[in-house]
Amino acid sequence: MSRLALLLALALVLLGATDPELARLERERDARPNDPERRQTLGEAYYRRARAAFDQKDFTAYETYLGRAMDEVLESARLDPESASPHVFMAIVAAYQGDIGRTFQSLANARRLAPRSWTSYTNLAEALIYKGSPRRDVERWLERGEKLGGDPAVSELNLCLVSWRDGDLEAAERHFKRVRRLNPEVLESWNEAPVPKPLETLPDLMTYCCGSPACGPYLAHACTESQLAVAKREIPAEVARQELMIEMERRRKLDDIYAKRKDLEIEIEAPEPLATGTPTPAPRPGP
C-alpha cells in the first residue's frame, strides 16, 4: 500500500473514531453483533456519513462509508431475512444513485415481506413522483400508507412535491404548510440524509430539492420552471466503478441469503453491469 493510501486510511479511521454517533453505534453493534436492528441502524448512520462526504466531494470517504453501510444492512438482512427494512434502505440508495428501476424492485421486495408496513408505500409514492407517474397513482399509494398508520405529514410532503412537479404552486404551498403544521421534523432529513438548513418555506424546499442530487435531477423540469439550477450527480469514473462493485456484491449477498428462503419469493436483479449517470427527469405533466 502506498504512503498516500495509508494516510487516507488512517484519516478515515480517525474520522470514524471522532464521530460520537458512529462510535456509539459501533460499540452497540459489537456488544450484540447478531442483532439485526443494531446492524440496520449502524448501516443507516454510515450511509448518512457517506452522503455528507459525497456532498463535500470527499469521494474516498464516500466509497468507504457506502461500502460499510451496505455491509451492515446486508448483514441485517442475513440475520433477519423477513425484515423489510433493508430493502427500503436499498431502494433509497438506488434512487440516490439514479437507478429508479432498482428502487421499484427493492420496494416490491419490502412490500412482499411486510405488506402492512406503511413506509414502503410512502417511499413508493415518492418514487412514482420521480418517475413522472400521474398524481392519482401517487395519491393511491399514499392513501394505502395512511390506512396502515403512515405519518400524514409524509403524505403531505409527497403531495407538495407532486403539485410542484405538475406546476400547481398554490397546491404545493398548501401541502407544505400542512407538513409544517402536522410534523415539521419530516423536513429535517431527506431519504436518510440530514437537511443542512431548515426548510421553513416552500421556496426553501424547492431550493434544497433542486440543489440535491437526491431530488433535483428527477424534478429538473419543475426546477427549471422555478428558475432554479439543478444539481447533477457527477462522479469520477473510479467512484462510479466502486459503486458498481458495491452493487454487484449487494446482489451476490442477497442471492445467497434468499436462495435459502425461497418461500419469501424475493426477487434479485441479475448480476450484470449497470448504467450509471444522472437520473432521468420526470416528464412534463400533460395538458
**Which helix (DSSP H) or strand (DSSP E) does residue 171 occupy?**
helix 169-182
**Number of other residues whose CB lies within 10 A of the CB of residue 11:** 13
Residues 42, 74: contact at Cβ < 8 Å? no
Model pLDDT for residues 138-193, shown as the tens digit of each residue: 999 999 999 999 999 999 999 999 999 999 999 999 999 999 999 999 999 998 88
- On the question of pLDDT at 120 being above 90, the answer is yes
- pLDDT more than 70, % of the chain: 88
Instruction: Quote the pTM value.
Output: 0.88
Residues 125, 158: contact at Cβ < 8 Å? yes
- On the question of pLDDT at 211 being above 90, the answer is yes
* Integer Cα distance of 283 and 273 in angstroms: 26
Determine how β-strand 189-190 pairs with β-strand 193-194.
Answer: antiparallel
Query: Between 281 and 163, whose confidence is greater?
Result: 163
Residues 79, 34: contact at Cβ < 8 Å? yes
Model pLDDT for residues 45-54, shown as the tens digit of each residue: 999 999 999 9
